[in-house]
Copies of this chain bind each other. A is one copy, B any other.
Amino acid sequence: MPVFISTLDDGFDAAFNALLSAKREEAADVDAAVAAIIEDVRTRGDAALIELTERFDRLRLTPETLAFTPEEIDAQCARVGAQERAALELAAERIRAYHERQMPGDERWRDATGAELGWRWTAVGAAGLYVPGGLASYPSSVLMNAIPAKVAGVERLVVACPTPGGAVNPLVLLAARLSGVDVVYRIGGAQAIAALAYGTQTISAVDKITGPGNAYVAAAKRRVFGRVGIDMIAGPSEILVIADRENDPDWIALDLLAQAEHDESAQSILITDDADFGRSVMRAVDARLDTLERRAIASASWRDHGAVIVVRDMDEAVALSDRIAPEHLELCVADPDALAARIRHAGAIFLGRWTPEAIGDYVGGPNHVLPTARSARFSSGLSVMDFLKRTTIARMTPGALAAIGPAAECLAGSESLQAHGLSVRARLDHLNDEGTA
């Protein structure tokens, strides 16, 4: 049974803390296996990659067939129906338009001492995007990872996507093509991450790896972090819906179930200021659950992690929401902007009754790769910034150095870093000599 609690209950704090701290996913201990796989690919390159792909994906590759040929991609893309193609194109266009606005600007200015300061942004040279095979092979994730990289200006963007037993998802290939991906490799698991991080005879190493994956992929990303950049390690997905009684319980139930159907570890929480409305939503969830193809998954998620929380007023809702720091936050209330203005921690906010979270998964425009497990307290969703880095710029003039150099020399002395001070002093002495010459 999902939790049904009210802030009026005596045991509310304990129940809410239990909900917050419940572990929804046990990390499988695959670290030793992953370390061995990475070392193998690092040492033996293509040969190891091909052997591991045969073992794990039951697929025999050669260095020549590691990547799809453009003709193979053409053929797969041609299999996609017109409606799906149009939907994918609309999504790509809207995601691109949103992310183009994220491009930060360079800055350069001169301060009162005459020193020139600033920074500039450059793109990561090469990025690798991991796309799971099988059930969780989502074309929408390809768009959400690849388009920000391309908008940022990444020159070489490759995809690694396993094709277990040779099974290919044509929509994934079409999404890769629409996003401007350069090469798609038929590899997966920790061996794919190793190949992207260290390179093989056939595959060039990249600088940054993003994209979701199973426990092996996650462990491999953690291990290669530092050698390359990685995005976040995502936990199970979650939604918090804050809704007043004016909503259709069925709409809210479907929004909760859209999260629950992802996997058994997903979490859906409703906060409402009306207990009767809360109960109506619970009934609506039950009614819809039976009709879903993924009812086994959605039922388990709702039963084990679902919650309806009744609050006295929306002030309480705001406070609880910030403690949850949800990945997705729907505000189904009359004035969602007023409520949103008071929320501090959320990955993405969906405003009003007409904005089901599923819009954000596909065609809204904002990224659907978002911080989970309360990490919205300190981190953000994927963006073009993940594929850019900033170089700071400083240029002293003799006058600027004369103005601020002595302070640097003084502080270097305090830190017992004598050569630091001398590197400033040598230049200042030269200025003084010139001045007195």
Identify the A interface with B (CB < 8 A): 83-84, 86-88, 90-91, 94, 97-98, 101-102, 104, 107, 109, 111, 115-117, 119, 122, 124-125, 135, 138-140, 171, 207-208, 226, 228-229, 233, 248, 250-251, 254-255, 257-258, 260-262, 288, 292-294, 298, 336, 340, 343-367, 370-371, 373, 375-381, 383, 385, 389-398, 400-401, 404-408, 410-412, 414-424, 426-427, 430
Contacts of A294 in B (CB 8 A): 416-419
User: If the complex has contacts A366-B117, A392-B348, A408-B363, are A427 and B258 also in contact, measured as CB distance less than 8 A?
Assistant: no
Contacts of A139 in B (CB 8 A): 411, 414-415
The reply to whether B361 and A408 form a contact with Cβ atoms under 8 Å apart is yes
Give me 19 A-to-B residue pairs in the complex whose CB atoms sit less than 8 angstroms apart, sorted by A's number: A84-B414, A86-B407, A102-B119, A140-B415, A171-B414, A207-B377, A228-B378, A258-B419, A261-B417, A288-B419, A346-B391, A355-B401, A356-B427, A358-B420, A359-B424, A363-B407, A364-B404, A366-B394, A378-B389
User: If the complex has contacts A84-B414, A392-B381, A411-B140, are A119 and B366 also in contact, measured as CB distance less than 8 A?
Assistant: yes
Q: Which of B86, B380, B398 contacts A389, CB < 8 Å?
A: B380
The reply to whether B364 and A419 form a contact with Cβ atoms under 8 Å apart is no
Query: Once the chains are docked, how many angstroms separate the CA of A116 from the CA of B349?
Result: 12
Query: Once the chains are docked, how many angstroms separate the CA of A350 from the CA of B102?
Result: 27
The reply to whether A251 and B427 form a contact with Cβ atoms under 8 Å apart is yes
The reply to whether B229 and A394 form a contact with Cβ atoms under 8 Å apart is no
Query: Once the chains are docked, how many angstroms separate the CA of A255 from the CA of B421?
Result: 10
Query: Once the chains are docked, how many angstroms separate the CA of A198 from the CA of B420?
Result: 38
The reply to whether B87 and A351 form a contact with Cβ atoms under 8 Å apart is no
Q: Which of B254, B394, B430 contacts A426, CB < 8 Å?
A: B254
Q: Which of B354, B396, B427 contacts A401, CB < 8 Å?
A: B354
Q: A139-B411, A351-B395, A358-B417 are known contacts; what are 7 more A-B pairs with Cβ within 8 Å? A: A122-B345, A171-B414, A207-B378, A248-B430, A343-B391, A358-B408, A359-B424
User: If the complex has contacts A365-B117, A426-B250, are A350 and B419 also in contact, measured as CB distance less than 8 A?
Assistant: no
The reply to whether A407 and B91 form a contact with Cβ atoms under 8 Å apart is yes
The reply to whether A419 and B340 form a contact with Cβ atoms under 8 Å apart is no
Minimum CB–CB distance from A350 to chain B (whole Å) comes to 6
Minimum CB–CB distance from A354 to chain B (whole Å) comes to 4
Minimum CB–CB distance from A130 to chain B (whole Å) comes to 16
Minimum CB–CB distance from A189 to chain B (whole Å) comes to 21
Query: Once the chains are docked, how many angstroms separate the CA of A303 from the CA of B40?
Result: 34
Query: Once the chains are docked, how many angstroms separate the CA of A117 from the CA of B426?
Result: 54
Minimum CB–CB distance from A139 to chain B (whole Å) comes to 7
The reply to whether A424 and B104 form a contact with Cβ atoms under 8 Å apart is no
Minimum CB–CB distance from A75 to chain B (whole Å) comes to 18
Contacts of A107 in B (CB 8 A): 101
User: If the complex has contacts A364-B117, A395-B352, are A412 and B377 also in contact, measured as CB distance less than 8 A?
Assistant: no
Contacts of A397 in B (CB 8 A): 354
Query: Once the chains are docked, how many angstroms separate the CA of A180 from the CA of B192?
Result: 46
Query: Once the chains are docked, how many angstroms separate the CA of A422 from the CA of B289?
Result: 12
Q: Which of B117, B251, B345, B373 contacts A423, CB < 8 Å?
A: B251
The reply to whether B255 and A410 form a contact with Cβ atoms under 8 Å apart is no
Q: Which of B87, B391, B396, B408 contacts A410, CB < 8 Å?
A: B87
Minimum CB–CB distance from A26 to chain B (whole Å) comes to 14
Query: Once the chains are docked, how many angstroms separate the CA of A392 from the CA of B116?
Result: 34
The reply to whether A410 and B83 form a contact with Cβ atoms under 8 Å apart is yes
Q: Point out which of A104, A125, A358 has the most chain B C-beta atoms below 10 A from its C-beta.
A: A358
The reply to whether B251 and A361 form a contact with Cβ atoms under 8 Å apart is no
Q: Point out which of A115, A138, A415 has the most chain B C-beta atoms below 10 A from its C-beta.
A: A415
Query: Once the chains are docked, how many angstroms separate the CA of A370 from the CA of B363?
Result: 37
Closest residue of chain B to A169, judged by CB? B414
The reply to whether B412 and A362 form a contact with Cβ atoms under 8 Å apart is yes
The reply to whether B364 and A394 form a contact with Cβ atoms under 8 Å apart is yes
Contacts of A357 in B (CB 8 A): 423
Query: Once the chains are docked, how many angstroms separate the CA of A138 from the CA of B97?
Result: 45
Closest residue of chain B to A261, judged by CB? B419
Contacts of A250 in B (CB 8 A): 426
User: If the complex has contacts A355-B395, A419-B294, are A233 and B226 also in contact, measured as CB distance less than 8 A?
Assistant: yes
